[in-house]
Amino acid sequence: MASAADVRSILSLPEPSAVAGPSQPKKQAAVSTRKPEGISRELYSLIGPSAPSLVTLSKPQLKQKPNLGGGSKVKWEYRAFKNSARQDSLELRHWVKASTPADEEYPFVKYNVSSNVFTYSQDEYTRFLEDKEWSKEETDYLFQVARDYDVRWFIVHDRYDFPGGTPRTVDDLKDRYYSVCRKLVRNRPWEGDETSKSQLILTYHFDKERELTRKKYILSLENRTPEQIAEEEALFIEVKRIEQNERRFRKERDELLRTIAGIESGLPDIVEDEGLMNLAIDTKKKKRGSMAMDIDSPSTPIVPAPTPIVKRPQTAKNAAFDAANCIIRTDPPATIPVTKAAHQPAHLRSYKLPVPKAAVAPKITAALAELGISHSRLVMPTRDNIMQLEALLEATTSLVDTKRVVDKIGYDIRILKSRLGMRESQGAEGHPDAMDVDEGEVGDDGRAQSVTSARSARNRKQVRTASKLEYRY
């Protein structure tokens, strides 16, 4: 296929010029724009010049230059000063601004705060401050060191060096110092009220034994191994989890009570009755004792006499109110003691459907399934329907028990018939049975008689075991 250049050469047409004719639109020259500062090249190529950014209008924020105070210059003077906290009238010099008044107090005087260290006389020491472990000279030395170092106890303990004295710990020094201060405050005349005096005594309180225990505890914490720290953290997490679960269970219980019974504050904490606990323990002991006895021996359980329940008479007004509001009041059973645990709050009947015993539940369910009845759900759980369901379950339970007894008796009959048939067949063949051998004349051969008796007893035991197994299953 011919191209456009071949067509132009065949038709002798000129080559198209770069200059556009009058009928061709003029191409606008591309205006080169400079990339503004503060924006990357890739971002500018995406945005283009048609959408200016705020970055082009703002200058790059660099670190501001520090202002070195290019204003008026400040004149300084080298002046002499005295520290009013010193007693030796020492004169020193320092640089201050020329505008500072000459009589201005030294600004660091306010930091020279001295503690109020007590002093005592010989009479006060003899009457109130004597101690077997501390002499007056050592006590005076302690108060002097505390006064010199502003009662900073670690410095006092570091500088404490009484000649000829016993080594003292920092707790010993603090205990002696604060005990002397308390005794002086307690026994000196007081101008204020008793409240301020008690507060001042509390400021000098120091328990040496408690402080030693605290330091031992801190030392034990510092000496813990990584395994002990991990175990403590695990215990802490477990405690937090238990508390969280307890709050969640309490919240769910309150919501359930609010939904069912309309109770806003939830149930109170019910303390278990000691009588019920003792009754349960005695029942377990009796059950263990009865299991050790023979199964066939009849035993009559001793039931403790229940606490008599005083029944309040119902007035005609209450009866009419109950009938109008469809309220049915049920009396608690006489065998259950009157406790908080025995109280039944308001509930839905659908949550209190009767349930068969676990031992016979599968057989009862199968029997009701043959009749197309479900004991786990009632379409209309009214009081009459629940009573009928309870009666049906009781009748079904009795029927299942009766069937079990009938099956057991039928099995025993079949076993006896089979044994009787075996005995008749042995008699027809001329072989004596076990009883005939025992009662026959065998002379002095007592061993044959004992072997035959043992075999007969073994056969009876096997038959009894088989009957028990069939009765069980």
Per residue in 61-116, pLDDT (tens digit) is: 667 777 776 667 889 999 999 888 888 888 999 999 998 998 888 888 888 877 88
Q: Please, which residues have CB within 8 angstroms of residue 39's CB and are 6 or more apart in sequence? A: 53, 55, 56
Dihedral sign for Cα atoms in the order 342, 343, 347, 349: positive
Residues 182 and 105 in one domain: no
* Conformational region of residue 20, where left means phi above 0, alpha means psi within -120 to 50, and beta covers everything else: beta
Asked if the structure places residue 36 within a domain, the reply is no
Question: What are the angstrom distances between the C-alpha of 293 and each of 289, 290, 471?
Answer: 7, 5, 21
**Which of the residue ranges 263-277, 294-308, 440-454, 456-470 has the most confident prediction, judged by mean pLDDT?**
456-470
pTM: 0.38
Residues 130 and 81 in one domain: no
Domain CATH for 202: 1.10.10.60
Asked if the structure places residue 284 within a domain, the reply is no
d(CA 164, CA 19): 119
Asked if the structure places residue 70 within a domain, the reply is no
Looking at residue 220, its pLDDT comes to 93
Instruction: Say how many C-beta atoms besides its own lie within 10 A of residue 356's C-beta.
Output: 18
* pLDDT tens-place string over residues 209-259: 999 999 999 999 999 999 999 999 999 999 999 999 999 999 998 888 777
Residue 91 has φ and ψ, to the nearest 5°, of: -110, 125
Asked if the structure places residue 233 within a domain, the reply is no
DSSP lists the bridge partners of residue 78 as: 95
Asked if the structure places residue 151 within a domain, the reply is yes
pLDDT at 270 over 50: no
* Residue where a domain stops, chosen among 86, 111, 136: 111
* Residue where a domain stops, chosen among 202, 222, 242: 222
d(CA 138, CA 129): 12
Report which residue type is found at 351. Answer: Y
Question: What are the angstrom distances between the C-alpha of 309 and each of 312, 331, 339?
Answer: 9, 10, 11
* DSSP-derived 3-state class of residue 374: coil
Looking at residue 439, its pLDDT comes to 43
pLDDT band at 183 (very low <50, low <70, confident <90, very high): very high
Residues 465 and 384 in one domain: yes
d(CA 268, CA 229): 38
pLDDT at 459 over 70: no
The total number of residues shown for the chain amounts to 473
Higher pLDDT, 39 or 312: 39
d(CA 178, CA 21): 113
* DSSP-derived 3-state class of residue 77: strand
In the predicted model, what is the mean pLDDT of residues 306-324? 68
Residues 160 and 83 in one domain: no
Residues 214 and 140 in one domain: yes
Residues 148 and 169 in one domain: yes
Tokens (6 digits) for 276: 């019920």
- DSSP character at residue 279: H
Tokens (6 digits) for 371: 């009749």
pLDDT at 460 over 60: no
* Residue where a domain stops, chosen among 162, 192, 222: 222
Residues 130 and 205 in one domain: yes
CA 177, 179, 185: angle at the middle one, nearest 5?
Answer: 105
Residues 157 and 187 in one domain: yes
Q: SS3 helix, strand, coil % of the chain, rounded to 5? A: 55, 5, 45
Residues 89 and 132 in one domain: no
User: Can you list the pairs that 277-284 forms with residues at least 24 positions away whose Cβ atoms lie under 8 Å?
Assistant: 279/304
Higher pLDDT, 412 or 455: 412
Residues 103 and 127 in one domain: no
Residues 137 and 205 in one domain: yes
Tokens (6 digits) for 28: 């606008």
Is 145 in contact with 163 (CB distance < 8 Å)? Answer: no
Residue 95 has φ and ψ, to the nearest 5°, of: -85, 130
* pLDDT tens-place string over residues 384-428: 888 888 888 888 889 889 988 999 999 999 999 998 888 888 877
Q: DSSP string of 148-200?
A: HTTT-HHHHHHH---TTPPP--HHHHHHHHHHHHHHHHHHS--SS-HHHHHHH
Asked if the structure places residue 149 within a domain, the reply is yes
Domain that holds residue 360: 354-427+454-473
Helix (H) or strand (E) holding 79: strand 76-82
Asked if the structure places residue 84 within a domain, the reply is yes
Q: DSSP string of 14-53?
A: PPPPSS--TTSPPPPPPPP-PPPTTS-HHHHHHH-TTS--
* pLDDT tens-place string over residues 27-37: 555 556 677 77
Question: What are the angstrom distances between the C-alpha of 119 and each of 123, 153, 173, 305?
Answer: 12, 18, 16, 79
Tokens (6 digits) for 333: 């059973």
Residues 105 and 128 in one domain: no
Number of independent structural domains in the chain: 3
Least-confidence region, from 35-44, 58-67, 184-193: 58-67
Asked if the structure places residue 294 within a domain, the reply is no
